[in-house]
Amino acid sequence: MFIEELYYKRFGSERPEVVKSIEESWREKQEKSAARKERSRARKLDAQGHREPGASVVTGSEIDIHAEIGHVVDLAGRGEGRLVRLAQLVFFSTESGDAWVVDPEDSLALPLARGGDRLPVHVVDTESQFVIEWTHDYLVDGERFVVREKATGRVTSISGCPTEALLPR
């Protein structure tokens, strides 16, 4: 079989040691990150300084979050795959025209563009910090970027993303 030959060439074995569904991988990742997310909740505030679930705060007046979003969306629109690190965040664009910002420490993701078209995002920028309203969480499963939309629970597996850079440091 052609696929089995490719798998053997790539991974050096005939089949994976453990075969899991995307849902199983997702649950396992969620369990592992629960403790880390609890620690990070202390860093999560809204623009008025109150705790807000699903929002990350990054301090630093030298960071222009909207300029970074615009830059990565422009790159995606031109079909250029790039990666930019900014504080704890990773911005990336793909050759297929998608753009994302992720927080690897908390496994949070926000789509910025799809197919080269800018998507609406909610980012509050103050003089000393910015707050991102995250709409997805994610995990890296080998070479796949697997995202779950928080509002619907819809899980999507995406190839062609810089998965190594999306792992916590």
Is residue 60 included in any domain, yes or no? yes
Is residue 109 included in any domain, yes or no? yes
pLDDT at 7: 76
Position 46, amino acid: D
Is residue 10 included in any domain, yes or no? no
Is residue 11 included in any domain, yes or no? no
Domain encompassing residue 148: 20-166
Is residue 1 included in any domain, yes or no? no
Number of separate helices (H) and strands (E) present in the chain: 3, 11
Total number of domains constituting the chain: 1
Angle at CA of residue 149, ends 54 and 25, nearest 5°: 100
- Secondary structure E strands in the chain: 55-59, 82-86, 89-93, 99-103, 108-114, 117-118, 123-125, 129-133, 136-141, 144-149, 155-158
Cα separation of the two ends of the chain = 37
**Burial degree of 83 (CB within 10 A; 0-12, 13-18, 19+):** middle
Is residue 9 included in any domain, yes or no? no
Is residue 82 included in any domain, yes or no? yes
Say whether pTM exceeds 0.85: no
Local confidence pLDDT in tens for the 169 residues of the chain: 777 887 788 778 887 777 888 888 888 877 777 655 554 554 444 444 444 444 444 444 557 788 889 999 999 999 999 998 888 889 999 999 999 999 999 999 999 999 999 999 988 877 777 789 999 999 999 899 999 999 999 999 988 888 888 988 7
Is residue 52 included in any domain, yes or no? yes
User: In angstroms, rounded to a whole number, what is the distance separating the alpha carbons of residues 110 and 58?
Assistant: 15
